[in-house]
Amino acid sequence: MNQKKRQPSPSQNPLAIASKWVPWADKLLPLLGVVILLSFWEIAATSNWVNPVLLPTPVATIAELVIVTFRPENGLFLDFFTTLWRTLLSFAIGAILGVPLGIILGSNERVYRSFEFLIDFFRSTPASALIPMFLLFLGTSDWNKVVIPAFAGFLVIIFNSAYGVMNARQSRILAARVMGASHWDIFKDVLFWESLPQIFIGLRTGISISLVIVIVAEMFIGTDLGLGKRIFETQQILNVKDMYASILTTGVLGYCLNMIFRFVEKQIVHWSGR
Amino acid sequence: MISTATSAFINVQGLCKSFGGQVLYQDFDLTLPEGKVISVFGPNGCGKSTLINMMSGLIPIDQGQITVADKPLRRSRIGYVFQNYRDTLFPWMSAFDNIAYPLKVKGMAEKNRHQRVDQLLATFDITLDLRRYPYQFSGGQQQLIAILRAVVADPEVLFLDEPFSALDFEMTLYIREKLQQVHMESNLTTVVVSHDLEDAVYLADQILLLSKRPTHVVEKVQFELPRPRTPDTVSHPEFVRTKGHCLDIFRQEMRQ
């Protein structure tokens, strides 16, 4: 809230149809949607529209979230960190392979044309459809829950990296060339940086996809720990409070990964949009 | 080595260039003197920019020969200032790294790069905080950075492609003064494309008037008013006469 309240509004409620709209009220706007959703949820849960067994109230769910998170036995935080670890590991594998290969692919038009269809095809194939195939080769090992998301992330990362290099603006490359820069100079000082914004789009999409596939793989393949497994199992035994708490946790995880990524991106690609 | 003004420093012979079946240049010959500022002026689409792009080796030629100081292009040192600084400065590098980039690719040590850039700034009494990124400067300052980058490695020729077109009037005057200063300090052979006749005449020792396609040289107009030229120069009788003459020829060309 603003330290200086220049115009105290008639009612302190930002939702009030105030004749004088106060500036600090605008800052609360992002919360409006959340408030509406929670109210709707509360009403749905308490008014018996929905069977209360299937939908606990928001307060009960959040209380459950706090309780199960730090429970020493079968605590949610263990599942959280397992899923986070798998997501980061698979993302790292996808990025370490995808960025350099994408750059190589994009630097050579002929090579790219040879692989374009293949990459585009697999990129368009839902990675979850490949889980049974991977199961055949890798079994239900823990490794499997990393390889499939890594593969899915790798595809978007390689595609976007190649695309970024291929669509780099020519003007800066020409400028470097007229200054006497060698091919290698142009590559490391211009082309790489020029494609970095697009590479980051690939990385950001890649980490989201990795998380999605990790969750699906945990549900499908079976594992000791992981948010996907927890959501699935709590649903099976009708422990709905825990299920909603786990779903919320997945959302928080995805949201935080996205935010952290945007922050890092802004630090590195500082010139973007300027 | 001192060469006379009439010697051919830049030599274009039998140049042919077509774009998509359209002939732009056909057996085009041109010689330009050393140590002078040459403005290139002509109707739209006559290939003014294409000409300096070919002379600087940025785009290939279909036929012919271009030499600078009797050397083929690939062995000559070229400085080039693009029309749009926004698309040609490197926003991921500081202004200093931008200016010093030509020195870096030539393998100069960092310490020497700093010395050279400092010396350059002192010469043109420019005070900019070069640790900042290009996009943190005004348009005119960015174009100035682009000009410093083009001259830092001691080029044999400086080409400028419509260097004022992205600038407002005030900045145009400022950059015009800086370019004059660059020329007076270094006596650098400079070829500048301009669509503004006043800028073209103001900067030039020689105005190269081009025809419509297929392009040929209509006239090389000499303009020998001594430097430094000032804002008053534009009302000098010689300036007015030269500009009027160029405009007459330009109108004649347009009628044909």
B203 contacts B192 by C-beta, under 8 angstroms: yes
Q: Which of A46-50, B22-26, B118-122 has the lowest mean pLDDT?
A: A46-50
State mean pLDDT over B156-181: 90
Kindly state the average pLDDT of the residues A3-14.
47
pLDDT tens for B65-101 read 999 988 888 888 999 999 888 889 999 999 999 999 9
Task: Find chain A residues with C-beta within 8 A of B78's C-beta.
Answer: 178
Residue of A nearest to B146 (CA): A175
Cβ of B105 within 8 Å of Cβ of A176? The answer is yes
Distance to chain A for B76, nearest Cα, Å: 10
How sure is the predictor about B3, in pLDDT bands with cuts at 50, 70 and 90? very low
Q: Helix, strand, coil shares of chain A as percentages rounded to 5?
A: 75, 0, 25
Domain count, chain A: 1
Contacts of A175 in chain B (CB under 8 A): 80, 82, 88
Residues of A in contact with B77 (CB under 8 A): 180
Q: Return the H-helix or E-strand segment holding B67.
A: strand B63-68
Instruction: Give me the domain span that covers residue A159.
Output: 82-229
Residue A179 in any domain: the answer is yes
Q: Show residues of chain A in contact with B85, CB under 8 Å.
A: none
Distance CA B29, CA B17 (A): 12
Q: Which residue carries 């009030």 as its tokens?
A: A16
The residues that bridge with B189 in the sheet, in sequence order, are: B157
pLDDT digits (tens, 9 = 90+) for B173-232: 889 998 998 899 889 999 999 989 999 999 999 999 998 888 888 889 899 888 889 888
Query: Which residues 155-194 of chain A have a CB within 8 Å of chain B?
Result: 169, 171-172, 174-182, 185, 189-190, 193
Domain ranges of chain B: 10-77+157-255, 91-153
In a domain, A137, yes or no: yes
Residue appearing with tokens 């408030």: A35
Give the nearest partner residue to B88 out of A171, A182, A196, using CB atoms. Answer: A171
At residue B254 the predicted structure's pLDDT band, cuts being 50, 70 and 90, is confident
- Does the pLDDT value for residue A20 go beyond 70? no
**Closest-approach residue (CA) in chain A for B137:** A274
Q: Residue A13: its pLDDT value, please?
A: 55
pLDDT of res. B2: 43
Write out the two tokens for A116: 């374009």
**A180/B133 CB distance under 8 A:** no
**What ipTM was estimated for this complex?**
0.87
Classify residue A191 by its DSSP letter: I
- Chain A residues close to B105, C-beta within 8 Å: 176, 179-182, 185, 189
- For residue A112, is pLDDT > 80? yes
Tokens 């009494």 correspond to what residue?
Answer: B125
Chain mean pLDDT for chain B = 89
Instruction: Specify whether domain B10-77+157-255 bears CATH 3.40.50.300.
Output: yes
Whether A14 shows a pLDDT value over 70: the answer reads: no
Mutate one of A170, A173, A174, A178 to test the B interface: name it (highest B CB count within 10 A).
A178
Apex CA B16: angle with CA B15 and CA B22, to 5°?
Answer: 150
Chain A nearest-CA distance from B193, in A, is: 17
Interface test with A, best of B86, B92, B156 (most A CBs within 10 A): B92
Confidence of residue A132 (pLDDT cuts 50, 70, 90): confident
Q: Is the pLDDT of residue A113 over 90?
A: no
Alpha helices in A47-143 (DSSP H): 58-69, 76-107, 109-124, 131-138
Closest by CA to A38, choosing from A14, A7, A60, is A60
Determine the residue of chain B that is closest to A174 in CA distance: B58
Backbone angles phi, psi at B229, to 5 degrees: -85, 145
The predicted pLDDT at position B7 comes to 65
CATH number, domain at A162? 1.10.3720.10
Q: Is residue A54 part of a domain?
A: no
Confidence label for B124 from pLDDT (cuts 50, 70 and 90)? confident
The dihedral region occupied by B34, where left means phi > 0, alpha psi between -120 and 50, and beta the remainder, is: beta
Mutation target to probe the B interface, by most B beta carbons within 10 A, among A182, A190, A195, A271 is A271
Which of A100, A127, A109 has its CA nearest to residue A216? A127
Query: Residue B89: which residues within 8 A CB-CB, separation 6 or more?
Result: A172, B98, B134, B142, B145, B146, B149
Which pLDDT score, from 0 to 100, does residue A53 have? Answer: 83
Q: Is residue A269 part of a domain?
A: no
How would residue A3 be classed by pLDDT, with cut points 50, 70 and 90? very low
Of B57, B84, B89, Cβ closest to residue A178:
B57
pLDDT of residue B56 exceeding 60: yes
pLDDT in tens, A153-193: 999 999 999 999 998 888 999 999 999 899 999 999 999 99
Across the interface, which of B87, B91, B101 has its CB nearest the CB of A179?
Answer: B101
**Helix or strand (DSSP H, E) at B38:** strand B37-41
Q: Taking all residues of chain A, what is their mean pLDDT, rounded to a whole number?
A: 87
d(CA A81, CA B39): 67
Dist. CA B209–CA B220, nearest whole Å: 6
pLDDT at B136: 94
Which carries the bigger pLDDT value, residue A17 or residue A48? A48
Instruction: Please state, in angstroms and rounded to a whole number, the distance separating the CA atoms of residues A80 and A251.
Output: 11
Contacts of B31 (CB under 8 A, 6+ apart): B8, B9, B10, B11, B12
The letter for the amino acid at A144 is: N
Q: Is the pLDDT of residue A238 over 80?
A: yes
